[in-house]
Structure 1
Amino acid sequence: MPVFSPSSHHPAPAAECEPGTAPEQQTAVDKALTLLKSLAELDGEIGVSELARRNRMSKSTTFRLLGILQRNDLVDRVGSDYRLGTQLFDIIARGFGADALLLHERLLPHLVDLYELTHETVHLAMLHGTDIVYVNKLHGHRAARSPSRIGACVPAYCTGVGKALLAFDHDAAEAAISAGLPARTEYTLADSDRFRADLRRIRQEGIAYDRQEAVLGLTCVAVPVMGAAGRPVAALSIAGSDRRFDPARFAPALRRVAFEAGRTINAAMVRQAAPTGTAGL
């Protein structure tokens, strides 16, 4: 199984304290939450010294708090670096319902298959209102800069996974349009007519593209994971740098994996809905 850890970190400004609260006046809980928020902004791991610098804490305090968070599975240690722990996703996912946990657990093997086929950044996401929630993500050493993080919410209209889901949910799509489609980049489909036309194409072809619509330099291809009722329950995507990544090249592999993922999640949902004592019979 590949190692999913990028080799570099993007610099971030030091965290601001609450108005009127100096760093030394923060409680241990305040500081621990500050560290979690800082880790959530990263797409990978970070060392103690750098994390302490960004949050204007001493290295000893940062190390001590990370140890407490690690013992509670809220932070994982990777060598001498740290990243958010898997237990934190479980806590977040419960806020989005049982489906998020089911998707996260049952479709991980398919996400691994997709990574092995492409060696690009791969995502699993679900629709939450007019946003998408990243349920899972795998990436290698050449991951492009992306707003995607497990458990993060992003507006659906400017992402491949989001458009793949909105195309099959008329009410959510119209709600997103009514709320406005602010341009995140010069390539965002901020015009409602163009946006609706793109959703019609996605419904016909079953595949969505994000060509630098959310972040400059990032492009991706996405397809829905269809449920038993003929409506998508999630979406899968492959993303990479616009300078070297050809999304159409990976479309066939993405369709195959999404089809198998649909079979897996539909079977899991049937078992989950079965009366107690009959599942698996």
Structure 2
Amino acid sequence: MPRKASTLSVADENPSSGGVAAVDRALSLLTAFRKNDGYLSLVELSERTRMYKSTILRLLASLEHAGMIHKSDDGRYGLGEGVVQLYGVYSSAFSQADVILPVLRALVEKTQESASYHVISGNNRLCLHRVNSPLPISYRTSEGDVLPLDKGSGARVLQAFTGAKGKLYDQIRKDGVVVLDGDRMPDLAGVSAAVFNAHHDFVGAVTLTMPSSRLKPSFREEVLHAAMMLSRKFGYSQN
């Protein structure tokens, strides 16, 4: 009888509902690779996936056949040309709006406040995407609006992750999020968090704005969660 693993593998610890276990395990091998890894040994793959080497070898054979894995002359394994081809297909069909707007809509539905996605544009910040609050009293801007880069929670996050110096910016870089009340105009509060891509580059800021009287402590975690969700959609991994 086969040995029963004393510790669940990464794939078996979080299986897909109604999926195929072998596929889950094969995908866990692909996602075991991290930025700047290059090639990994069988031992390293076993440690990262918590699978037996014999199981990994069978999965690697299938992945190598499909071009998803490449075996080097020294017996180590790296991602294959099939992954590059898939990335090319994904990139050609990728629309930021299709990724960003659902995250903003979910944030607005959860908080009932207005959500935006900002990037730096010259000496200003540009609102690339916006979903306004359904409430009658709210601060409203539109996609394409250009806003100052020196005030407001979104501006502070953009500045923090592009090299601004000072105690406030050091704290934002540490936390990844900032909550400010009245920074840009009286009675207007904002909560903003940083968004990163697959290369761990800073790419923008998710911002929630509301009248100061409606600012809630829970908004900090809600915006952080939205920013992390968006970062993951852009390929970001904390590993």
What is the TM-score when the length of structure 2 is the normalising length?
A: 0.54
- 1:103, 1:135 within 8 Å by CA — same for their partners in 2? no
**Which residue of 123, 136, 141 corresponds with 2:135?**
141
The aligned residue for residue 234 of structure 1 is 204
Let me know the Cα RMSD of the aligned residues: 2.0
Are the counterparts in 2 of residues 158 and 210 from structure 1 also a CA contact under 8 Å?
no
Partner of 2:55: none
Question: Partner amino acid for 1:224?
Answer: A
Residues 168 and 231 in structure 1, CA contact (< 8 A), matched pair in contact too: no
Between structure 1 and structure 2, the one with the greater Rg is 2
Letter in 1 for 2:223: L
1-side partners of 2:138 and 2:220: how far apart? 19
CA distance in 2, matches of 1:122, 1:158: 17
1:220 aligned counterpart, secondary structure = strand
Structure 1 residue 199: Cα displacement: 0.7
Q: Any conservation in 2 of the 1:123–1:237 contact (CA below 8 Å)?
A: yes
Q: CA deviation at 1:143?
A: 4.1
Shift of 1:169: 0.6
- For the pair 1:114 / 2:107, whether they are aligned, the reply is yes
Secondary structure, in 3 states, of the residue corresponding to 1:166?
helix
Residue of 212, 219, 234 corresponding to 1:250: 219
Structure 2 counterpart of 1:217:
187
TM-superposed CA distance for 1:142, in Å, is 3.4
Matching residue of 1:105: 98
Structure 1-normalised TM-score?
0.47
Instruction: Quickly say closer, same or farther: Cα 1:264–1:105, change in 2 above 3 A.
Output: same
Classify the secondary structure of the residue corresponding to 2:103: helix
> What letter corresponds to residue 141 of structure 1 in structure 2?
L
Runs of 4 or more above 3 Å deviation? none
Structure number with greater CO (CA < 8 Å, separation at least 6) is 1
| Paired residue secondary structure (2:235) | helix
Matched residues, number: 142
Segments of 5+ residues of structure 1 without an aligned counterpart are: 1-100, 175-195, 268-281
2:154 pairs with 161, 165, 172, which one? 161
Residue aligning to 2:35: none
Question: What letter matches 2:230 in structure 1?
Answer: A
- 1:76 equivalent in structure 2: none
Against the structure 1 CA distance between its residues 143 and 264, is the aligned structure 2 distance closer, same or farther, given a 3 Å change threshold?
A: farther
Equivalent position amino acid for 2:120 in 1: L
State the secondary structure of the residue aligned to 1:114. helix
Aligned-pair identity (%): 19
Residue by residue, what CA displacement relative to the aligned partner does 1:147-195 show, whole Å, maximum 9, x if unpaired? x32101111220211111211111xx37xxxxxxxxxxxxxxxxxxxxx
Kept in 1, the 8 Å contact 2:139–2:209? The answer is: no
Contact 1:144–1:218 (CA under 8 A) maintained in structure 2 = no
Whichever residue aligns with residue 242 of structure 1, its letter is: S
Task: Name the CA distance, whole Å, in 1 between partners of 2:138 and 2:212.
Answer: 9
Give the Cα–Cα distance (whole angstroms) in 2 for the partners of residues 257 and 164 of structure 1: 15
- Summarize the alignment of residues 1-281 of structure 1 with structure 2, pairs less than 5 Å apart: 102-138=95-131, 139-146=133-140, 148-170=141-163, 173=164, 196-246=166-216, 248-266=217-235
Separation in 2, partners of 1:143, 1:136: 20
Q: Distance in 2 between matches of 1:253 and 1:145?
A: 19
User: What is the one-letter code of the residue matched to 1:145?
Assistant: Y
